[in-house]
DNA sequence: ATGACGATTTACT
DNA sequence: GTAAATCGTCATA
């Protein structure tokens, strides 16, 4: 990070967007625009997009070149640099808000990006070889469960597909697994 | 050029 | 539970 402080979290929740057939994907039906160009890049690249007029979200591109498959990073467990994360997060939270808990730092796709200071400048960077933003191999074998994806407007097959993956029982997930 | 909308978050009733 | 916040992007014309 700019001031030398390292920020780290353990990814505990993701969602897959599986190509041009996926009606919920930004690349549905082969849509390819300036915004989602990174989805067509080589695997390991970050696809960072802006949404709702105020939020950034990050994906990891997983498909081959020209094959727009990506995984949205939806939540993480804060590991390192919590102080700076709190600062990053409280910047946008309105003054009277409730105190920021640790679990509020990275428990959502836009929250996580805000805590880690991820924005458009990270779009298209390589998360495998990068040094300013990167992903490390996981340690341990968490129990992972599947669920329907969150926040989609599409109905039917692609709205119902269980393409969300989350660590069972982890308090940092954005929305608890439904019973 | 214009209008509708969004892979969300937050506050409020 | 509902609704506001807020603006870049994209489809249509």
Evaluate if residue A2 carries a pLDDT over 90: no
- What size, in residues, is chain A? 179
Residues A142 and A116 sit within 8 Å (Cβ to Cβ): no
A52 touches strand C (CB under 7 A): yes
What is the per-residue pLDDT for A98? 72
CA A39 to chain centroid, in Å, comes to 14
A36 touches strand C (CB under 7 A): yes
How far is residue A8's CA from residue A133's CA, in Å, rounded to a whole number?
A: 10
| β-strand partners of A169 | none
A156 touches strand C (CB under 7 A): no
| β-strand partners of A146 | A165
Residue in the structure block whose two tokens are 């190509």 = A19
Evaluate if residue A1 carries a pLDDT over 70: no
Q: Look over chain A and give the mean of its residue pLDDT values, rounded to a whole number.
A: 93
User: A94: which nucleotide lies closest, measuring CA to C1'?
Assistant: B10
pLDDT tens per residue, range A44-94: 999 999 999 999 999 999 999 999 999 999 999 999 999 999 999 997 766
Evaluate if residue A140 carries a pLDDT over 70: yes
A50 touches strand C (CB under 7 A): yes
How far is residue A135's CA from residue A74's CA, in Å, rounded to a whole number?
A: 14
What is the per-residue pLDDT for A97? 61
């Amino acid at each position: 990070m700019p001031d030398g402080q390292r920020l780290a979290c353990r990814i505990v929740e993701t969602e897959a967007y599986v190509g041009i057939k996926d009606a919920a994907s930004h690349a549905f039906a082969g849509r390819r625009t300036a915004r989602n160009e990174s989805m067509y890049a080589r695997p390991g690249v970050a696809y960072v997009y802006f949404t709702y007029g105020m939020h950034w979200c990050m994906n990891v591109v997983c498909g081959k070149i020209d094959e727009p498959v990506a995984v949205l990073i939806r939540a993480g467990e804060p590991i390192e640099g919590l102080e700076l994360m709190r600062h990053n997060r409280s910047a946008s939270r309105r003054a009277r808000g409730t105190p920021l808990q640790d679990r509020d730092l990275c428990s959502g796709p836009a929250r996580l990006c805000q805590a880690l200071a991820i924005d458009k400048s990270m779009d298209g960077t390589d998360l495998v070889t990068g040094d300013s933003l990167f992903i490390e191999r996981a340690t341990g074998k968490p129990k992972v469960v599947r669920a329907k994806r969150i926040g989609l407007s599409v109905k039917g097959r692609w709205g119902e597909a269980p393409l969300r993956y989350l660590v069972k029982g982890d308090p940092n997930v954005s929305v608890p697994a439904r019973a």
